[in-house]
């Protein structure tokens, strides 16, 4: 598998949050980065980072934008999905369309627009809520994320012979620029996280971005169809253990 000196990476949902942290990391790693979101952020990113403003729900506009990305910056090496629904209207329809259907639409539209000679990586960011129930999120979020996990496995098998690797990164709650004041300012929550997460803290957007970067590198050249949990081990702890810790009971 050859690596490319300046890979072209398209990030869907990279204008803020974890996607922006990934765009910044890729720019430092000398990628040419194309970023799609509804709004172009006021603060630019240093490096070869290009923003496109389009709503994933507007499929005609989206098709034109995807064409434009390829015409301007050439075929892709990496395609990463970090969008989630934050719009108005019906939440079920919105989340399923934005997270699940748009991901399939973009993959299908771009499948012939990847560099042939190099490693081709697709990474879908899912969530712990694809497996467990997180009551702070709605039903659509759970179903869309579970669907994305299986979509990744499907494409890993079907597109494997064409040289594509398709993997999922599934974070727990992540500190990002937009929420760190809230989470770090909440002492009670931080203490609980310290006691219940095996690694004793919340992860950061950059730590998730590093895992995505690995999956988009030739170092991951034989890795496909996998869901990688990036949660400091939180998913491993049993209900009994959690309950005992919270109740200060001995083990
Ligand atoms: N934050 C966490 O703790 C956490 C934990 C587990 C999993 N995740 C997952 O990780 C991913 C990133 O999370 P995040 O918290 O960084 O998300 P976020 O801050 O809400 O960012 C979502 C991105 O998607 C874009 N987007 C949303 N709707 C769009 C639409 N209709 N058309 C085009 N772009 C759209 C947004 O840009 P615009 O607003 O400009 O459109 C933004 O760039 C999501 O898939 C989320 O479910 C997050």
Contact 53, 39 (CB under 8 A): yes
Residue 141: the pLDDT is: 98
Count the alpha carbons within 13 Å of 83 in the hemisphere toward its beta carbon.
30
The distance from CA 210 to its chain's CA centroid, rounded to whole angstroms, is 11
Confidence of residue 1 (pLDDT cuts 50, 70, 90): low
Residue 107 CA to residue 146 CA, distance in Å, equals 17
- Give the model's pLDDT for residue 3: 60
Instruction: Decide: 102 and 61 in contact? Cβ < 8 Å.
Output: no
Instruction: Confirm or reject: Cβ of 134 under 6 Å from ligand 1.
Output: no
CA of 117 to the centre of ligand 1 (A): 31
Helix (H, G, I), strand (E, B) or coil at 31: coil
Ligand 1 center–CA 86 separation, angstroms: 8
Give the residue carrying structure tokens 């598998």: 1
Q: Cite the active site residues.
A: 141
Over residues 99-103, mean pLDDT: 98
pLDDT digits (tens, 9 = 90+) for 119-177: 899 999 999 999 999 999 999 999 999 999 999 999 999 999 999 999 999 999 999 99
Q: Quick one: residue 184, left, alpha or beta (phi over 0 = left, psi -120 to 50 = alpha)?
A: alpha
Helix (H/G/I), strand (E/B), else coil: 187: helix
For residue range 208-251, what is the model confidence (pLDDT) as tens digits?
Answer: 999 999 999 999 999 999 999 999 999 999 999 999 999 999 88
22-52 pLDDT per residue, tens: 999 999 999 999 999 999 999 999 999 999 9
Give the H/E segment covering residue 151: helix 139-159
Tell me which of 81, 83, 128, 145 to substitute to probe ligand 1's pocket, judged by most ligand atoms within 8 Å of the beta carbon. 83
Predicted local distance difference test score (pLDDT) of residue 151:
98
- β-strands 164-171, 203-204 pairing: unpaired
- 200/140 Cα distance (integer angstroms): 30
Q: Is the pTM of this model over 0.75?
A: yes
Query: How confident is the model at residue 118, as a pLDDT?
Result: 79
Q: What is the distance in A from the centroid of ligand 1 to the CA of 103?
A: 13
End-to-end CA distance of the chain: 49
Q: Which of 11, 13, 80, 212 to mutate to test the pocket of ligand 1 (most atoms within 8 A of CB)?
A: 13
- Report how far apart, in Å, the C-alpha atoms of 208 and of each of 127, 150, 182, 246 are: 12, 20, 19, 28
């Amino acid at each position: 598998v050859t690596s490319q000196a300046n890979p072209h990476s398209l990030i869907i949902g990279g204008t803020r949050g974890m996607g922006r942290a990934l765009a910044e990391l890729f720019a430092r790693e000398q990628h040419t980065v194309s970023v799609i979101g509804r709004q172009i952020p006021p603060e630019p990113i240093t490096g070869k980072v290009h923003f496109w403003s389009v709503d994933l729900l507007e499929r005609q506009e989206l098709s034109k934008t995807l064409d434009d990305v390829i015409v301007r910056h050439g075929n892709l090496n990496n395609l990463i999905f970090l969008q989630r629904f934050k719009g108005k209207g019906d939440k079920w329809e919105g989340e399923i369309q934005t997270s699940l259907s748009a991901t399939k639409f973009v993959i299908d539209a771009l499948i012939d627009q990847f560099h042939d000679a190099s490693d081709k990586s697709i990474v879908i960011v899912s969530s712990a809520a694809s497996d467990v129930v997180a009551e702070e999120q709605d039903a659509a979020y759970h179903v869309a994320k579970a669907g994305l996990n299986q979509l990744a496995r499907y494409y890993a098998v079907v597109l494997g012979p064409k040289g594509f690797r398709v993997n999922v990164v599934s974070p727990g709650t992540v500190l990002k620029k937009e929420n760190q004041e809230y989470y770090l300012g909440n002492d009670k929550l931080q203490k609980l996280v310290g006691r219940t997460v095996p690694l004793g803290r919340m992860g950061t957007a950059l730590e998730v971005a590093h895992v995505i970067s690995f999956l988009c590198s030739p170092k991951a050249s034989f890795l496909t169809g996998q869901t990688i949990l990036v949660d400091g081990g939180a998913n491993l702890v049993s209900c009994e253990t959690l309950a005992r810790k919270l109740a200060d009971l001995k083990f």
